[in-house]
Structure 1
Amino acid sequence: MERRMMLAVKITEGIKRKGLSQKEFAEKMCKRPSEISKWLKGDHNFTTSTLFDIEDVLDIHIMD
């Protein structure tokens, strides 16, 4: 659970750094804003494909 929370924080920071709202980020990810909210709670189980898409959209490295 701790790693998932750290992942959520990293995504949240990436969204802020890009100057995006959650809604704008959802649009770029082709997801509903409600799904992004779930992601940012820290208990979502991501696929590697989704993680790679997040990295591309936010221009960050999640998998160090």
Structure 2
Amino acid sequence: MCEANVYLIDKEGKEQLILESVDKVIPSEEGVLLENIFSQRKTVKAKIKEMALVDHRIVLEDL
């Protein structure tokens, strides 16, 4: 499986799981569009901070 869990680091430095089993990450002007294997979508006003795909982990940083 090639999906990853996506975490958001807020302005206070706290990390929070925002979506599991993500298989699409699409940067846009509004932030980052995420879509998982269950067709759930979420747009987050954030930028990509780290992608550790071997660990199935993507970290976003709040804008």
TM-score by length of 1: 0.28
More strand by share: 2
Larger helix percent:
1
